[in-house]
Amino acid sequence: MKKVALLGSTGSIGTQTLDVIRQHPDRFQVRLLACGRNIDLLKKQIAEFQPAVIVIRDEGDLSKLKGHLPIGTRAVAGESALLAAVAETDADFVMNALVGSQGLKPTLTAIEAGKTIGIANKETLVTAGHLVTAASKHYGAQLMAVDSEHSAIWQSLEGSKRSEVTRLIVTASGGSFRDWSADAVARATPEDALKHPNWSMGQKVTIDSATMMNKGLEVIEAHWLFDMPYENIDVLIHRESIIHSLVEYQDKSVIAQLGTPDMKVAIQYALAYPDRLELNGPERLNLWEVGALHFENTDPIKHQCLTMAYQAGETGGSAPTVLNAANEEAVQQFLKGELSFTGIADTVEKALAAHTVIAHPSIDEVMEVDLETRERTRNEK
């Protein structure tokens, strides 16, 4: 029985994680649930999974849980309470499905506690990959890839020597606007951008997919997860989202992981590793029904956010922190109708240009750069 702490339980990855756990009650037990403001959904999750600890964002919402806590379950609120709960939980596995840079400190706390961590929060490695990977080595904590692309790379590396790997190839659907003209994209609305052709994801990730920033963040994450130089990580547009990523070896063999687009496959692989469990939900992949698979190169001009992500990653230091923080703020402004779709890339570019890079930032410096970037981005809108 693997005990699980789930951070971000009411989001897209969080609810799908609970779908997997629900299918295997003999294998997994929920010990901690943490979420933001979706208290109504949280109440249903509490009733079903009866965790030992509940953590919510705002202390003012604790009263809403009155009468909904099983005997023996306690509820706390705030970031410090979350970090304490992660440090103290008896869970073996911490699934970090929080959205944005708020996932960094809980990840570091889980690492220091020697937990196995499922990294569904890519911003953790983007903003402070040097700190996270160094801490995981020091404390002997294991980082499990949960993004479908990184899970595919992980699976394609199984049984092979890392020294024999020459290239990682991360696939991208191309997002909501892959077939739109530049003029049409400039007029795109949030409703347009949220219509992803293949995947069902949260709002922020779906917008990032449309700008290709999501793929840029995944490149930085892959760099840290698999210790691979940026020049050996390629991005390939693959419309069908059947091949989730590929690994090239020095003998020119290429191994890929294929499947229908369903995040529960990657989630369960991380939770159950090294076992593979039966999973209901994803459709069986019948390639004769798919008929053909299509591939395209990325365009450094059209996919400006991807280009900036490569540049920030290669620059290193605090540059990826700025990239991520400016992007998060710009995406929120776009969703609120305060910024055009093309303004997202412009906003990130301005933030990077205005920043003086810190070569080896501490955790305090990372958080300070993150905050300063957000404030500057909000003030310039």
Could you list the residues known to form a binding site for NADPH, using ranges. Answer: 10-13, 36-38, 121, 123, 202
The secondary structure of residue 244, as a DSSP letter, is E
Buried b (16+ CB within 10 A) or exposed e, 348-363: bbebbeebebbeebee
CB 147 within 8 A of CB 127: no
What DSSP element (H or E) covers 20? helix 12-23
Which residue, 221, 214, 217, 184, is CA-closest to 198? 214
Token pair of 27 as six digits: 């294998």
Place of tokens 């009468």: 67
Q: Is the Cβ–Cβ distance between 212 and 305 less than 8 Å? A: yes
Cα separation, 151 vs 120, in Å, equals 10
Pick out the residues of the known binding site for 1-deoxy-D-xylulose 5-phosphate.
122, 148-149, 173, 196, 209, 214-215, 218
Measured CA to CA, the distance from residue 174 to residue 209 in angstroms comes to: 7
Specify binding-site residues: 10-13, 36-38, 121-123, 147-149, 173, 196, 202, 209, 214-215, 218
Measure the CA–CA gap between 12 and 15, rounded to whole angstroms.
Answer: 6
Annotation: binding site for Mn(2+): 147, 149, 218
Cα–Cα distance, 380 to 283 (Å, whole number): 46
At 192, list the tokens.
């347009």
Q: Which of 14, 287, 24, 313 is nearest to 146 (CA)?
A: 14
Determine phi and psi for 336, rounding to 5 degrees. -85, -5
Q: Which long-range contacts (CB under 8 A, 24 or more apart) does 302-306 make?
A: 302/182, 303/212, 303/215, 304/345, 304/349, 305/208, 305/211, 305/212, 305/213, 305/216, 305/344, 305/345, 305/348, 306/212, 306/213, 306/215, 306/216, 306/219, 306/235
What the block records as the tokens of 315 is: 């620059």
